[in-house]
Homo-oligomer: A and B are copies of this chain.
Amino acid sequence: MAEESLQLYDTTLRDGSQQEGMVLTVDDKLAVARHLDALGVGFIEGGWPGAIPRDTEFFHRAQTELTLDNALLAAFGATRRPGIPVSTDPQVRALLAAGAPVITLVGKSHTGHVQRALRTTLAENLAMIGSTVRHLVHAGRRVFLDAEHYFDGHRLNRDYALAVVRTAAEAGAEAVVLCDTNGGSLPDEVHEIVADTIAMTGAPVGIHCHDDTGCAVANTLAAVDAGAVHVQGTAHGYGERCGNADLFTVIGNLVLKKDRAVIGPAQLAGLAATGHAITELTGIPPRPAAPYVGPAAFTHKAGLHASALRVDPGLYQHTDPERVGNVMRTLVSDMGGRSSVALKARELGYDVEAGSEEVARAAARVKDLESDGYSFESADASFELLLREELAGTPDEPPFEVDSWHVSVARRKDGDVHTEATVRLRLDGAPLAASGSGNGPVNALDRALHQALDPYFPQLAKLELVDYRVRVLTGETGSSAAARVLISYSDGERRWGTVGVDRNTVTASWRALLDAVHYVLLDDVRPGRGASPLATALAG
């Protein structure tokens, strides 16, 4: 990073937290900051001390609890109020009291916003920007100015927008960050306005984009091309409306496509893991297709080029997923054949050849099952069970047998609904029965299975049903047609899926439930996760 002057500025904890559903505790915020610091970001904006109590507390605790190796902490706030001396403004005082080495001020640069939202004069707004920046610089802070609604402002009144940039730069702002606050700009406009601003003011400028046209990343790159020296973004593009520029994508593009070493190779290799860790902290479902860091970012479905993909993955990927700490995955689907089955098998740790008889048998079974309505794309666990059977030549010894089961859902006259399931199994020949109640047939059967089996197979206790989807397969015949049920399980760390198909929806669910149980019970014999003789034989 020594020779790379472009600044990376993260605002996940401030602008990113405007996203619907994003509620971070102070501990969460501290944890997010540590991840971003480890990634190599230069600045971490922690919030608005003085305005938001949780942010005030964050800065307070950060002084003792947050040790940063790469980043500097930035406090966000506004320029002083109109008509008062900056030294008396409580909001500005709170910014200084936060103790962060960097302060980023938001200032208006759009005449409409100055007059209609801020309700002051254009001259006073400039005075507010100048005096607040000077005051904070004088107090020893590094100061950035976020020029709000800059692009719309420049289009409406270019002279005034440029005056804002000059005022802030002359007062000592380290960079003036041009904000596309409404997110409506396109890359050509951003390039033109950034270039014009630099040419006319000579000020160091930064860029802050929103994704309302789906161009936040491209707009950021356009600004860098035009000479911006500072880029802002958020983890996963979190932010209100369509979100902010996704800093992970921006980093991937800058390093891998633009040769801008904003972070080092080892840090880049932690990109996907950083994304995953932050997802866990925010609890916001990850976007599988997110560039570079998404779990599907390097996932291939097309069976037609599966054979070429095996020979030369570089032909089908724009970059090596390992550089960003991600992995290539392939999906088993009706578009693939033997090669995608072989590819998937190797991904799961089985050392097989696409030309082998076992793979041919597995591919034929996948094809048969798919024509019956199965889909293995989201059901790795069911696929692995099938694959193991074909590799072994016989079905795995079932750890238990199923005699019968029964589910009942009753709605009483008073409106109460009660669901109960009973399963009758056989373990080493001995009968075993248990019941469970739940919020529907699948839930009740799942609980009855746990009730019956957990005492004998403690490893099942961690198995939790986290999602399921039911799909009728042939629309024209409705609920009397076959149903496909996809179930997702978690053991607290990993997540995997199983699939069941049957004319009866509950039977389809039961099949998916059984696959999940079998999968967990076989866990210790799977390659890479244990070293039983069977696994070794299978992998050999």
Interface residues of A (CB under 8 A from B): 18-21, 23, 25, 27-28, 51-54, 112-113, 116-117, 149, 181-188, 211-219, 221-222, 225, 237, 239-243, 246, 249, 252-253, 257-258, 283, 285, 287-291, 294, 296-302, 304-305, 308, 311-312, 315-319, 331, 334-335, 371, 375, 377-378, 402-413, 417, 419, 424, 438-443, 446, 464-481, 483, 488, 502-507, 510
Contact = CB atoms under 8 A, between A and B. Distances in A.
A483 B485 CA distance: 14
Nearest to A443: B479
A131 to B, nearest CB: 21
Contact of A301 (B19, B404, B440, B503): B19
A133 to B, nearest CB: 20
Contacts of A446: 479
Contacts of A116: 308, 311-312, 315
A471 B28 CA distance: 12
B20 A218 contact: no
A469 B470 CA distance: 6
Contacts of A246: 214
Given A213-B318, A334-B54, A470-B469, A289 B505 contact: no
Contact of A237 (B187, B289, B334): B289
B478 A289 contact: no
Contacts of A377: 20-21, 23
A311 B112 CA distance: 13
Contacts of A331: 20
B506 A478 contact: no
A242 B186 contact: no
A475 to B, nearest CB: 3
A20 B478 contact: no
Number of copies: 2
A419 B504 contact: yes
A183 B241 contact: no
A505 B439 contact: yes
B410 A505 contact: no
The 7 closest A-B pairs by CB, nearest first: A184-B318, A218-B218, A440-B505, A27-B475, A443-B479, A117-B308, A214-B249
A249 B213 contact: yes
Contacts of A52: 334-335
Contacts of A472: 467-469
A218 B186 contact: yes
A412 B408 contact: no
Contact of A465 (B219, B312, B468, B479): B479
B469 A471 contact: yes
A405 B413 contact: no
A208 to B, nearest CB: 14
A299 B218 contact: no
Nearest to A30: B475
B221 A440 contact: no
Given A213-B291, A301-B19, A467-B478, A25 B473 contact: yes
A346 to B, nearest CB: 19
A359 to B, nearest CB: 21
